[in-house]
Structure 1
Amino acid sequence: MVGSKSLKFATLDVFTSSAFQGNQLAIVNLPGNINLEQDTKQRIAREFNFSETVFIHDPTSDNEDRRVDIFTLTQELPFAGHPVIGTLCHLCQVSDPPLRKVNLSLKAGTLVGRYDPETRLAEAEIPHDVRLHQARAPRDILDCQLNTLPAGNQWPNEFPVVSVVKGMTFVLIAMPDLAALSSLDPLNQKGVHEQDKLDEGWQSSFMAPYYYTITEQTPSLIRIRSRMMEPTVGEDPCTGSAASTLAAYLALEHGQPGRTYAYSIEQGVEMGRAGEIHVKVTLGQSRGIEKLVLAGSAVLMTQGVLYLP
């Protein structure tokens, strides 16, 4: 039986220009005359069963920012990378005439988004609040992986814990080479339970390890291969929030004030859903981060109607 409410939806593959690659995303459009409870949005996200589902609220005026809510299978997030890039690509591609600029209102703040219809690339100047926490994650986060990692590697006793915004935190684990990165087993991943050790006021709603290795480094571009694995999520094909966190951390640790650093981060290779995440980090003269820009493309996969009771 068809429900009393119907909502348009689309699904996209994000951080890729090829179908069946990158990270899957569901986008649900909410007209101004329909108001859904957050619990209902959570149930819809579980119905799609993607890592994230986005709900776009139509603006009530031409100048109003579009409010966007982001849900995983279990919780709402203040910010996430592939939902932002996918939403920007979708909004700009389906608009007539095509849009080139869209502002999104997230729980983490307002985001300035731009889209180039020729390259089909969206970029988002994200509302960052990068924090390198005093506490560091102990080496035992790797204990479950040691039997799969190549022998002979010397591991540090602890790893940096970094937030890109309040509510999104990652443990950044540098791997010695691609062989070590590829040998990681997502089925053996140990959860991170360090939320209570974060700096005061920064207890995170989502926290996960992000493994990476630098594959190429030039003055103009740093190339990285990465993986994100977390027990409740599994392995994520392309994690824009983690990539933004890593790029910000590397720029702060190794960069010079006033310079801009570009990163190309490949993720999802080992699970057959490769994607490419672009991040640019501009450091201020006082060494803090002045601007953090996330970019990528997306492919429309399906469109349809969701019926609600």
Structure 2
Amino acid sequence: MRTIRYITADVFTSQPFTGNQLAVVFGAEGLPTETLQAITREFNYSETTFVFAPETAGTTRRVRIFTPGMEVPFAGHPTIGTAHVLVATGDVPPTAEEIAAGEMTVVLGENVGPVPVRLRLDRGVPSWAQLTTALLPEERVEVTDRTAIAHMLSLDPSDLLGGAYAPTGVSCGLPFQMIPLTSVEAVSRARLRVDAWETALGGRWAEWPMVFAMTGGNDPADLAAHVRGCDIRARVFVPSGGVPEDPATGSANAALAGYLAARTPRDGLLRWEVAQGVEMERPSRLSIEAHKTGGRIDAIRVGGASVIMAEGTMAVPAHG
């Protein structure tokens, strides 16, 4: 047996016991992929990351990301949370100049490529982080049957928007099916029917649905304080990845920023605040932005806070 070290964090939140849980694992060098997948299932969080020495010039660390069901090339809450853990624990300490400047950047080498993460520092301690996606948005329209999409979500077709805001697959490294709804109430009412999902989206390029609606500032009074005032309410379902519903999904929100920016007729910096995980009682807040020049999107960013929750060790077979 050998011992690996782990740290857990709640990501896309400043409040413990909210946001999206993440395990960050150190010391897994040489373990086969099957063992990394088994460790991920042992935590049973939406995702677990494994941190290794950098393999590519210009990167700070090599990071592999797993859901309970598979390895993924890119994901937002693991990227934000891992960067926070690396700096907060001193594994990647800021320089005196970075402390004085109040920010630093780490670059994580992921399967999608290098992903830079800018961290705000409060006297050397990270307080907020923002990733820039390695890939710009790609869109594909694969499904046009509104009735099938609505049935999959236990909704009525009238709950879905249409026209330019019809369901569309979007990816900034991991594809999601963007499904705009007419109201926050419809977002809360959605229930994924897995059998209907298998028929409507299973096996598609963008098979994981993200439902969302603009809030119009009409937050309920009992909404958690750290997600009040958001522009968008969202939910994400990842059935084939072993995650029935995800409390905070940075990769899906990156795709959402691209989807919205492509339908916003102005250049410059576009920003939205997104509340996710509300229905799961894991409220999360994600800051998303896109930059456009000459009508073209040239940057997508996703940001949020993290809270370190626990640390420990795990015994695993020495050779997997």
Which of 181, 188, 193 is equivalent to 1:175?
181
Unpaired segments ≥5 residues, structure 1: 198-203
Equivalent position of 2:281 in the other structure: 272
Equivalent position of 1:43 in the other structure: 38
Query: Within 5 Å, which residues of 2 pair with 1:91-240?
Result: 91-95=86-90, 98-99=93-94, 100-118=104-122, 120-139=127-146, 140-146=148-154, 153=159, 156=162, 159-165=167-173, 168-186=174-192, 190-191=196-197, 194=201, 204=205, 207-216=207-216, 223-232=231-240, 233-240=243-250
**How far is the alpha carbon of 1:189 from its aligned partner?**
7.6
- Point out the more displaced range, 51-60 or 61-70: 61-70
CA RMSD in angstroms comes to: 2.7
Q: Residues 252-290 of structure 1, C-alpha deviation per residue, up to 9 Å, x if partnerless?
A: 111423x110111100111100010011110132x2221
**How far is the alpha carbon of 1:134 from its aligned partner?**
4.0
Q: Is 1:249 aligned to residue 259 of structure 2? A: yes
Q: Is 1:84 aligned to residue 91 of structure 2? A: no
TM-score w.r.t. the length of structure 1 is: 0.84
Counterparts of 2:170 and 2:84, CA distance in 1: 28
Asked if 2 retains the 8 angstrom alpha-carbon contact of 1:190 and 1:231, the reply is no
- 3-state SS, counterpart of residue 272 of structure 1: coil
**How far is the alpha carbon of 1:163 from its aligned partner?**
1.6
Go from structure 1 to structure 2 and tell me whether the alpha carbon gap of 1:152 and 1:307 turns closer, same or farther (over 3 Å shift). Answer: closer
- 3-state SS, counterpart of residue 208 of structure 2: strand
Q: Which amino acid aligns with 2:187?
A: L
Residue identity (%)? 31
Which of 285, 298, 301 is equivalent to 1:293?
301
Unpaired segments ≥5 residues, structure 2: 95-103, 218-228
Asked if 1 retains the 8 angstrom alpha-carbon contact of 2:159 and 2:183, the reply is no
Q: Which amino acid aligns with 1:303?
A: E
Q: Residues 109-167 of structure 1, C-alpha deviation per residue, up to 9 Å, x if partnerless?
A: 10111211227001111212311114334220221444x66x965764952121222xx
TM-score w.r.t. the length of structure 2 is: 0.81
Equivalent position of 1:66 in the other structure: 61
Asked if 1 retains the 8 angstrom alpha-carbon contact of 2:44 and 2:68, the reply is yes
Equivalenced residue count is 288
| Structure number with higher helix proportion | 2
Q: Which amino acid aligns with 1:26?
A: A
Q: Is 1:28 aligned to residue 10 of structure 2? A: no
Counterparts of 2:14 and 2:230, CA distance in 1: 21
- 3-state SS, counterpart of residue 43 of structure 1: helix
Counterparts of 1:92 and 1:28, CA distance in 2: 14
- 3-state SS, counterpart of residue 191 of structure 1: helix
Equivalent position of 2:5 in the other structure: 8
- Point out the more displaced range, 99-108 or 134-143: 134-143
